[in-house]
Amino acid sequence: MTEPLLALDAIDVRYGPTQVLWGVTLRVEPGEVVAVMGPNGSGKSTVLKAAMGLKGVSGGRVMFRGEDMTRRPATARPGAGMSIVLERRRLFPFMSVRENIELGAYARRLSRADLARSFDEVLALFPEIAGHLDATAARLSGGQQQMVAIARGLMGDPQLLLMDEPLLGLSPALQRHVIDLMGRINQRGVAILFNEQNAKLSFGLSHRGYLLESGRVVLEGSGVEMLDHPEVRRVYLGEEAA
Amino acid sequence: MTGTLLAESLINGLITGAIYALVGAGVALIYGTMRVLNFAHGEMMMLGAYFAWMGVAVAGLPVLLAFALALIGVMIVAAVIQRAVVAPVLAREDWSFRVIAATIGLSVALQSAAQLIWGEKFNALPYFLDGVVQIGPMRLPWQRAAIPIVAFVALGLSALLLYRSRFGQMIRATAQDAEAAQAVGIPAGLVHTAVFALSAGLAAIAAIMLAPIMSVNPWMGLPYILKAFAVVILGGLGNFGGAIAAGLLLGLVESFGVMVTSSEWRDVISYGLLIAIIWVRPYGLFGGREAA
Amino acid sequence: MRSVLGSRPWLTLALIALVLAAMPFVIDDNYLLHILILFLIFAVFATGWNLTLGILGQKTLGHHAFFAIGAYTTALLSGTVGLSPWLTLWLGVLAAALAGGLIGIPILRIRSMPHVAIVTLAFAEIVKLLLANWKDVTRGELGLWGIPPFPAIEIGGTTIRFGAGQIAGSFALALLAFVAVHALVLWLLRGRFGLTMVAIRDSQLAAESLSIDLTRSKLAAFALSAAIVGLSGGLYAHYLQILTPTSTAGPEMLVTLLAMIILGGVGTFFGPIFGALVLTALTEYLREYGDLRMLIYGATVTLFVILLPRGVAGLLTRRGRPAAAGDEPATAPET
């Protein structure tokens, strides 16, 4: 059996005196799309932040490509092949779109020429922002900002892309667009770990999925299994048990 | 009112304004990157002046070497303060007032420590620039004329660093969203420390330029910190360029204000202006809310 | 409210008052009683400031100006104009309250904490400069001395005298003011006023949506807070009978009081009283090392913020029950 790309091994996370994750175990295999689904406040964003090192863990281990990243800071991740698209875009608002995207490659320390090549490759996926490269990021529409945020994530040339609520607050048309992008990114061999509140979107899009409730993994399985699970159907899809 | 008097006020205003700009720009840079009002910034001036005085008057070092050492010394002190006091407070909830309180305490403790170490005596740094420059009808000692020149060179270099270098990009990214900066691999914590040191360096330059014409004493930073805050608010909290413009403006307003009243009312004019402007334009004269 | 007042606040206050009232009968040392008088006056100051700083959550840094306004108003009106200090004390309180309301108006427009801190600090600096520059009336930094004490009163054939040398009378008066102010504040905090204050501190938006009239509530809190601090200034003026602009409205006063409140616990009812006691006593104990005083105050503030941000009061409540996350005043959204 090959080594998983990312493995969270029974992690605990606290915010001050409040514990929000309890022994969460989760893995992402190379090239996989994995969903973390759960209601508001279940801790699904915290799972991603803990994987990225933006939130420290108080127990358990975070392994990435066989390497123990538990005690290493967030800044060690992008260079190792992990990027995150933060919730609600979180661009650098007063920088240009170009500067925002280029900063995504910060950790790779590329030469000018390599940076330009990488930039053009990534931008090819996002024709809609090509005309706005010199605009200040804050002036873009929400949908365009989401594209810039994803582009920034891809500039790290990740093997694993973490996406924190990538569909939140987008119109249905834009949601479809982002979903399509996720598919194309995955086709390039990039594994994706994302979270989402909607069960159909979560498990319909993913190879495997986890259901999180009150900071604990209560269910895991392939996307299809998850969609078919009576508990998911009853609670999250609003269907009466047959 | 004669032309000479006007010219004199203008030049005095520029000199004072240049100092305000140097100190205020540092406060703005720190606020812009970490939302911290550093009440101990005046003491970075004080330490800069003492270090320079020790190098020149006590150790007898060449002037430029003494100043370079003083600058480095202050930057190290500032970095230590950021690591030991500011960063731990920022890591907690409800930090925005606590960090103000912590730096107020630090400011007073540093003044008191300086008094214990160097005594209450007012020390003088000797003039290190000779000669007089003739500007129209005015004769101005180079020691004073150099202040705005040095200030603009230092601020110009800082602006270049901020807007034209990779390190400046790291600072701006951290200022605009520290978590997103970390997510792309920028060590935001180190950037914070560096910004603290850089800002303290600007304050130390101001103090070294001032020391020969004022005096070196434990409380010399006190009059400047509130002025720096006024400058930072007038320029739009955290706005580097705004602070420089507001610093010059405040220097000129004071200079001309003193011309029509008298020097003891100078600070009343500044603070009155500050409160009046906050009343009508809470986010500064230049309206910008852009960070760093 | 419990996190502010603790359990059984009336009982605690009564016990404190009783213990203090017994002091003149137990302690036969006028110097120690003098220190206790200063403690009582500063405790009133600290409680007054804590109303805006901790309970309303408005981070004002200029309350030493209200202290100076209260002190100078009553000192000048009684000493220079010749009115009775019993009357002018209240005129000083009124002047401080008006100043509090006045500085409250621009602050109400601002929700950004740094702006509030700087505006109030600039206001205090203006007051200090006015007192220092208005030499014809205040004698500037030379100081105002020979301020008349409160005139003696007669109760049941006993004459009670006040002022610098009159320890018994001064102690009784300071204790009376201490108890009255704390009883008033406690009574207000237990009622609608207190709930309003805490609601504003925890969330201005939520308070507004509860149809709390923010402007009136905040102005009232500002004026009350300033009035209490002004009262402490008046008591100080007529007790020590000497004032200078820097000793009343200077940065040392700011740091001294900030240290008391932070050591005791910002936003707790009894914390600042405790802080005032510890630091007043410590100051006097270290009198011969005068140069160390501000080093200690400054270091106290910084170390407590880093190591014990909820002050001694926070330490006590933590032992009693596990600190809930909700205890922490929620950081108001800042711009």
Over residues C32-85, the pLDDT tens digits come to 899 999 999 999 999 999 999 988 888 899 999 999 999 999 999 998 888 999
Higher-confidence residue: A201 or B157? Answer: B157
DSSP code at position C166? -
Q: Within this chain, do residues A120 and A167 fall inside the same structural domain, yes or no?
A: no
Q: Subunits touching C (CB < 8 Å, at least 3 pairs)?
A: A, B
A216 and A145 part of one domain: no
Percent of chain C whose pLDDT exceeds 70: 91
Whether the CB-CB separation of B205 and B68 falls below 8 Å is answered with no
Residue C307 has pLDDT above 60, yes or no: yes
pLDDT at A27: 95
Q: Do residue C323 and residue A17 have CB atoms under 8 angstroms apart? A: yes
User: Could you give the percent of chain A with pLDDT greater than 70?
Assistant: 98
Higher pLDDT, B99 or C156: B99
Count Cβ–Cβ pairs < 8 Å, chain B vs chain C: 146
- pLDDT of C136 reads 84
Please tell me the least confidently modeled range out of A32-36, A104-108, B79-83, B256-260: B256-260
β-strands A18-28, A160-163 pairing? unpaired
Does some domain include residue A36? yes
- Mean pLDDT along residues B232-249: 91
Q: Which of B218, B214, B210 is nearest to B120 (CA)?
A: B218
Cβ atoms C172, C300 nearer than 8 A: no
Q: How far apart are CA C245 and CA C247, in angstroms?
A: 6
Examine residue A86 and state whether it is found in any structural domain, yes or no.
Answer: no
Q: Which residues pair with A64 in a beta bridge?
A: A6, A67
A1 band by pLDDT with thresholds 50, 70 and 90: low
pLDDT tens per residue across span C200-214:
787 776 776 766 677
Return d(Cα B110, Cα B221) in angstroms, integer.
Answer: 11
Best of A106, A157, A161, A163 to mutate (most B CBs within 10 Å, chain B): A106
Lowest mean pLDDT among B104-118, C142-156, C163-177, C317-331: C317-331
Sequence-ordered list of residues with C-beta below 8 angstroms from that of B109, at least 6 positions apart, any chain: C294, C295, C298, C299, C302
Are B155 and B21 contacting, i.e. CB atoms less than 8 angstroms apart?
yes
Residue B98 inside a domain? The answer is yes
Question: Domain limits at B146?
Answer: 16-129+138-222
Q: Is residue A123 part of a domain?
A: yes
CB pair distance less than 8 Å for A90 and B291: no
Same domain, A210 and A138: no
**Given CB atoms, is A80 within the 8 Å cutoff of chain B?**
no
Residue C257, H or E segment: helix C251-264
Nearest CA in chain B to C104: B279
Q: What percent of chain A has pLDDT over 90?
A: 84
Please give the DSSP secondary-structure letter assigned to residue C289: G
Task: Quickly state the pLDDT bin for C142 (edges 50, 70, 90).
Answer: confident
Q: Does B120 touch chain A (CB under 8 A)?
A: no
The predicted structure's pLDDT at residue B118: 93
Q: Which of C111, C119, C246 to mutate to test the interface with B (most CBs of B within 10 A)?
A: C119
* Whole-Å CA distances, B31 to A102, C162, C200: 26, 49, 26
Q: Do C109 and B282 touch (CB under 8 A)?
A: yes
Residue A15 to residue A206: CA distance in whole angstroms: 29
Contact of B197 with B34, CB cutoff 8 Å: no
C239-258 residues touching B, CB cutoff 8 A? 251-252, 254-255, 258
In a domain, A237, yes or no: yes
Q: Are residues A7 and A20 in the same domain?
A: yes
Residue at which a domain ends, from A157, A172, A193: A157
Between A90 and C1, where is the model more confident?
A90
Our CA angle for A210, A216, A219, nearest 5°, is: 35
Q: Give tens-digit pLDDT for B170-191.
A: 999 999 999 999 999 999 999 9
Give contacts of A77 with chain B, Cβ < 8 Å. 185
The CA–CA distances, whole Å, from B230 to B235, C120, C148, C186 equal 8, 12, 39, 37
Higher pLDDT among residues C312 and C213, named by residue? C312
Task: Look at the block and give the residue holding tokens 């004080």.
Answer: B46
Nearest to C19 by CA among C145, C178, C153, C147: C178
**C100-112: average pLDDT:** 82
> Could you tell me which of B121, B55, B110 has the C-alpha nearest to residue B81?
B110
**pLDDT over 80 (residue C287):** no
With a pLDDT cut of 90, the percent of chain C lying above it is 42
Range of the domain at C182: 2-250
| % pLDDT > 90, chain B | 71
Alpha helices in A17-171 (DSSP H): 44-52, 77-80, 97-103, 112-123, 142-154
Give domain status of residue B31, yes or no: yes
B172 vs A: CB within 8 A? yes
Sheet containing strand A160-163, edge to edge, reads A82-85, A160-163, A191-196, A33-37, A208-213, A216-222
Four-point Cα dihedral B13, B15, B16, B18, nearest 10: 110
How far apart CA B204 and CA B199 sit, in angstroms, is 9
For residue C56, is it within any domain?
yes
Residue C174, SS3? helix
By CA distance, what is B228's nearest residue in C? C118
The structure tokens listed for A203 are 């498990």
Between the alpha carbon of residue B74 and those of residues B27, B54, C302, the distances in Å are 15, 13, 20
- Contact (CB<8Å) A15/C325: yes
Residue C120: predicted pLDDT: 92
- Tell me the pairing of strands A33-37 and A208-213: parallel
Please identify among residues 11-30 of chain A the ones whose CB lies closer than 8 Å to any CB of chain C. Answer: 15-18
How many domains in chain B? 1
pLDDT at B176: 95
pLDDT at B285 over 80: no
Ramachandran bin of C143, using left for φ above 0, alpha for ψ from -120 to 50, beta for the remaining angles = left
Please list, in sequence order, all residues whose beta carbon lies within 8 angstroms of the beta carbon of residue A156, skipping any fewer than 6 positions away.
A78, A81, A82, A83, A104, A105, A107, A108, B184, B185
3-state SS, C73-142, equals: HHHHHHHHHCCCHHHHHHHHHHHHHHHHHHHHHHHHCCCCHHHHHHHHHHHHHHHHHHHHHCHHHHCHHH
Q: Among C223, C310, C308, which residue's Cα sits nearest to residue C6?
A: C310
Query: Quick one: DSSP state of residue C51?
Result: I
Are A150 and A199 members of one domain?
no
What confidence tens digit (pLDDT) does each residue in B35-70 have? Answer: 999 999 999 999 999 999 999 999 999 999 999 999
Which of B32, B86, B41 shows the shortest CA–CA distance to B227? Answer: B41
Whether residue A69 contacts residue A229, with contact meaning beta carbons closer than 8 Å, is answered with no
Residues in C closer than 8 angstroms to A18, CB to CB, are 325
Do both A164 and A124 map to the same domain?
Answer: no
Do A2 and A76 fall within a single domain?
yes
Q: Which of B109, A191, B291 is nearest to C258 (CA)?
A: B109
Would you mind telling me the total number of residues written for chain B in this entry? 292
Q: How confident is the model at residue A75 (pLDDT cuts 50, 70, 90)?
A: very high
Query: Which pLDDT score, from 0 to 100, does residue C211 have?
Result: 66
Between CA A178 and CA A175 the distance in angstroms is 5
pTM of the model: 0.89
Distances in Å between the alpha carbon of C28 and those of A45, C20, C174, C194, C280?
A: 65, 14, 18, 40, 19
Give the domain CATH number at A64: 3.40.50.300
Q: Is C117 an interface residue toward B (CB < 8 Å)?
A: yes
Our CA-based measurement puts residue B90 at a distance from the nearest CA of chain A, in whole angstroms, of 14
Write down which residue in A109, A141, A157 finishes a domain: A157
- Residue B258 maps to a domain: no
Residue closest to B148 by CA, chosen among B255, B265, B58: B255
Decide if C230 is inside a domain.
yes
Number of structural domains (chain A) is 2
Query: pLDDT tens-digit profile of C245-267?
Result: 988 898 889 999 999 999 998 88
The per-residue pLDDT for range C55-66, each reduced to its tens digit, is 888 889 999 999
Type of residue numbered C275: G
Helix, strand or coil, per DSSP, at residue A195: strand
Given pLDDT bands bounded at 50, 70 and 90, which one contains residue C322?
very low
Say which residues have a Cβ less than 8 Å from residue B268's Cβ, sequence separation at least 6.
C126, C129, C130, C133
Nearest to C42 by CA among C266, C242, C272, C255: C272
Tally of CB atoms within 10 A around B272: 16
Rg (CA), chain A: 18
Residues A67 and A171 in one domain: yes
Number of domains present in the structure of chain C: 1
Looking at the structure, do residues A97 and A177 belong to the same domain, yes or no?
A: no
- Supply the range of the domain harboring residue A151: 91-157
8 A C-beta contact, residue B20 and residue B251: yes
Residue B109 vs residue B278, higher pLDDT: B109
> Structure tokens of B169?
């990009």
Torsion angle in degrees (nearest 10) through CA of C45, C49, C50, C51: 120
A152/B185 Cβ within 8 A: no
Q: Which residues contact B126 (CB under 8 A, 6 or more apart)?
A: B56, B57, B212
CB contact under 8 A, C133 and B268: yes
Structure confidence at residue B6 (pLDDT): 86
Assess B180–A contact: CB distance below 8 Å, yes or no: yes
Q: Which two tokens stand for residue C180?
A: 């009255």
Q: Would you say B3 and B245 are in contact if contact means Cβ atoms under 8 Å apart? A: no
Nearest residue of chain C to residue B96 (CA atoms): C113
Residues A169 and A75 in one domain: yes
Mind telling me how many Å the CA of B228 is from chain C's nearest CA? 10
As a whole number of Å, the end-to-end CA separation of chain A is: 37
- List Cβ neighbours of A145 (8 Å cut-off, separation of 6 or more): A89, A91, A137
The answer as to whether B254 is a domain residue is: no
Contact B173 A103 (CB under 8 A): yes
Share above pLDDT 70 across residues of chain B, in percent, rounded to a whole number: 98
Mean pLDDT over B125-149 rounds to 89
Confidence of residue C1 (pLDDT cuts 50, 70, 90): low
Fill in the DSSP letter of residue A72: S
Residues of C within 8 A of A16 (CB-CB) are 325, 328
CA dist C156 and C65 (Å) reads 39
Name the residue with tokens 């970390």: B182
- Whether the predicted pLDDT of A65 surpasses 90: yes
Amino acid symbol at A55: K
SS3 A14: strand
CA dist B232 and B247 (Å) reads 8
ipTM of the predicted structure? Answer: 0.91
Question: Is residue C203 one of the residues assigned to a domain?
Answer: yes
What is the average per-residue pLDDT within C99-127? 87
The answer to whether residue C294 neighbours chain B at the CB level (below 8 Å) is: yes
Contact assignment for B105 to C297 by CB distance below 8 Å: yes
**Do B112 and C294 meet the contact criterion of CB atoms below 8 Å apart?**
yes
